[in-house]
Structure formats: structure tokens, C-alpha cells
Amino acid sequence: MKARGKIREEARRLYLTGELQTNAEIAVRLRVKPHTVGKWRRDENWDDLRRKVDRRAAELFAEKIASDRVTLNVRHYRMWDLLIAKLADDLKGRPGIEIRELEKISGILDRAQKGQRLAKGLSIDGETEEAIRAQSEAETRHLIDVFIESIKENVHDEDARERIRQAVLAAVPEEEDARAGEPGEAVVH
């Protein structure tokens, strides 16, 4: 019986890791019948477990990317900070600076400031990442609303219109904060 338990554990591992996809593939590998694997899969609800594993793996991956981005941005910001400090020290030691040199220095400062803004997650022109994301979400919402209005005008079957509207809205992720408007309402720009 203990050997059967180990086979079942191995079958679960093969499925949850995605190494094998179907009951038949797992059955062939472990030399059991496909319906036995199917029974184990139903009894232990492997499909839900796999979704949870996949979701957690995606969350961990997103956290790793975010952490790496923050680390990289901190390094870039420090580098630009050092560049500006070096430039300031160099300028202090010079008694007179010609216009051409000032133009070069101005270009260096401009690039350094842009680099610092990018490293802090800001756009070069002063717009924050959140503002850019909000604008993009509002534009997406507006396009959806225009599409829904077009459906209302051109599709005369009420049930078909509602199914289309629900399908479109289901495909678009919810905005985290207050939504730009209720489904079907035009977004005011």
C-alpha cells in the first residue's frame, strides 16, 4: 500500500509541476491506468491545486521582477547622483568657464536629471507612472464605452447586446481604485 501512495504522490507532482499534462501521460510514466490517475486527480482536486500553484508562482515572479527593478533603479539613481556630485566638485575648482563648456555641462546635467527621474519611476517630462497608467486606463475605458454604445445602436437583439457587453467587460481587468464609470456609461474626458 505504501508503494501505491508513493505512486500517487509522484502522479500529483508530475501534474502540479506541469511536467506531464494528461492523465494518460502520467499513467504511462507511472505504469498505472489512466482512470486511476483521473480518480486521484478528482479526489484531491488537482486542478484547483494547480491553479493555486500557478497563481502563486506568478505572484512570486512578479515580486521578483519588482524587487529587481527597485534594486536596479536605486543603483541607477546613485550613479546619476555621483555623476552630478563629481560635476559639481569639478565646477568648484574652475575660476572661469567658457560658454561652450557651460553648454556641455548643461547637457550632462540634463541627461543626469532625466536618468534620475527614470530611475525613480517618473517620466522624463515630469509625469508620474501612476498618472500615465491612469490616463491609459481612462482611454481603454473610453474605447470600451464607445464599442458598447456602437453595439447598442447596431445590434437589435437585447440578449445578444447584453452578452457582448458582459464579454467585453469581463475581458478587461477591474481598475484598482474607483472605476471611471459604471459599465455602459460613457467616460467623461
Model confidence pLDDT, tens digit, residues 146-177: 777 777 777 788 888 788 777 777 776 665 44
* Cβ neighbours around 137 below 10 Å, total: 18
pLDDT value of residue 182:
45
Whether 156 maps to a domain, the answer reads yes
Q: Identity (one letter) of the amino acid at 145?
A: D
User: Position 87: which residue type?
Assistant: L
Which of 67, 98, 119 is the C-terminal boundary of a domain?
119
Residue 185: Cβ within 10 Å count: 13
Q: What three-state secondary structure class fits 128?
A: strand
pLDDT, one tens digit per residue, over 79-108 is 777 877 877 777 777 777 776 777 787 787
> Do 65 and 24 share a structural domain?
no
**HSE toward the beta carbon, residue 7, CA cutoff 13 A:** 16
Number of domains forming the structure of the chain: 3
Three cell numbers written together for 37: 490517475
Query: What value does the mean pLDDT of the chain take?
Result: 77
Element (H, E) at 17: none
Q: Are residues 62 and 109 in the same domain?
A: yes
pTM equals: 0.40
Nearest to 108 by CA among 90, 83, 81: 83
Domain, as residue range, for 92: 57-119
